[in-house]
A and B are shown apart, each in its own frame.
Chain A
Amino acid sequence: MVELLVNCAAMLAGLAFLLALYRFFKGPSAADRVVAFDVLTIIAITAIVLVALTERRAIYLDVALIYALLSFLGVIVVARYLERGL
C-alpha cells in the first residue's frame, strides 16, 4: 500500500517535471527559463527524497540538503545578471 502511494507520488512529480521542462525549453524570455530552472531544482529535491525512501538509505538526503542550500544561489546570480539590462 505504502509502496503504491510512493509510486503514485513519483509519477505525479515526474509529470510536474515534464511540464516545467516544457516551459524551460519553450519559455520566450530568459526570466521564464530561470523560473522553470528553479522549479526543476525543487522537483529534483522531492525526487531525491523519493529515491531515498525507495532505497531506504538516509545518506541520500545529504544531496537534497545541498540542493536546498545552493538552488537560490544560482537564481540570485542570474537575477543580478538580468537586472543590469538585457
Chain B
Amino acid sequence: MDSVLGLLGGLFLIAGAAFLLLGGLGLVRMPDVFNRIQAGTKATTLGTLFGLAGAACLQPDWALKLMLIGLFILFTNPISSQVLARAAHRSHAEKSALTAVDRLEDDQGA
C-alpha cells in the first residue's frame, strides 16, 4: 500500500481538500454574490477533480467510474454557476462597493 502511487494519490487528495477549503474560505470572505459564485464554484471544481484523481491513484480499479464522475462535474458545474450568476444579475443582486464596471448592465441599458 505504501507504494509511490499510493503516496501520490494521498498527496492529490490533500491538494484537492485544500482547494475545497480555499473555496469555503472564499465563500465566507468574499464581499458580494458574484465573487462568492466564482470563488465557490471554480475552486471547488478543481478541488473535486484533484480528489477524484487521488482516489484513482489509490484504487486504480475504480478509475473509469471516477473519470465519469469527474466528467459530469466538469460539464454541469460551470453551467449551474453561469445560470446562477445570470439569475442573480437579473434579480438585481446587491453589488459590492468595490465594483468598478458592469458591462452587462451597460449593454442592457444602451
Measured CB to CB, the residues of A under 8 A from B are 1-2, 4-6, 8-13, 15-20, 22-23, 28-29, 31-32, 34-36, 38-39, 42-43, 45-46, 49-50, 52-53, 56, 58, 61-62, 64-65, 68-69, 71-72, 75-76, 78-80, 82-83, 85-86
- Is A23 in contact with B27, judged by CB distance below 8 angstroms? yes
Interchain nearest-CB distance for B3 vs A (Å): 9
Minimal Cβ-Cβ distance residue in A for B58? A53
Name A20's contact: one of B18, B24, B94 (CB within 8 Å).
B24
Report the separation of the CA atoms of residues A22 and B48 in the bound assembly, to the nearest whole angstrom.
20
Q: Is the CB of B21 within 8 A of A42?
A: no
| B87 and A38 within 8 A (CB) | no
Question: What does DSSP make chain A's interface, helix, strand, loop or mixed?
Answer: helix
Cα A86 to Cα B41 in complex, Å, equals 23
Interface residues on B, range: 35 or more
From A16, A32, A83, A85, B24 is in contact (CB under 8 Å) with: A16
Q: How far is the CB of A6 from chain B (nearest CB, A)?
A: 6
Residue of A nearest to B65 (CB): A61
**A43–B90 Cα gap in the complex (Å)?**
28
Beta-carbon nearest neighbor of B41 in chain A? A38
Interface pairs A-B: 5 shortest CB-CB: A5-B10, A19-B24, A12-B17, A16-B24, A72-B76
A42 and B10: CB pair below 8 A? Answer: no
Whether B44 pairs with A43 at a CB distance below 8 angstroms is yes
Collect the chain A residues with CB atoms within 8 Å of residue B77's CB: 38, 42, 71-72
When distances are taken between beta carbons in the complex, the residues of chain A under 8 Å from B10 are 1-2, 4-6, 9
